[in-house]
Structure 1
Amino acid sequence: MNSNRYPPSPHRGVNTLVPGALVRHPTETDWGTGQVQSVIGNRITVNFEHVGKQLINGDVIALVPLDEA
């Protein structure tokens, strides 16, 4: 039985994100670009331009990696 009140994200990016990666939040665009600080399990700490450090649950939010071209 799943006691989590949120369904798992179908795009779990936790395994592909590493410290230093640049990301954006899929629904909070005003937060600006974020830099991943740490990834521990499904817990992702990101330092965003406009709101500072945020703890993201990777099971709920699929952060969008930014291409570094």
Structure 2
Amino acid sequence: MIHASLVCRGCSGTLYAVSTNGGGAESLPTWKVDHDHSPASCPLRPLLPLEGTAAHIRELPDAGHVLTGSA
């Protein structure tokens, strides 16, 4: 699943999010969130990509620091 309309809090750049399902019916998806085009000037670059297993993008480590708006 690919999510759109994610914006980086550090540089206002567009982020993409991709999730893959672990295979089991009750398993949580594995996420990767990163800049579409990684700007050299983004102060949050060290936090990206956000990666991990979670029910929702907002549950990934550092998501509250990086993501703006609703996902």
TM-score, length of structure 2 as denominator length: 0.29
TM-score, length of structure 1 as denominator length: 0.30
The structure richer in strand per residue is 2
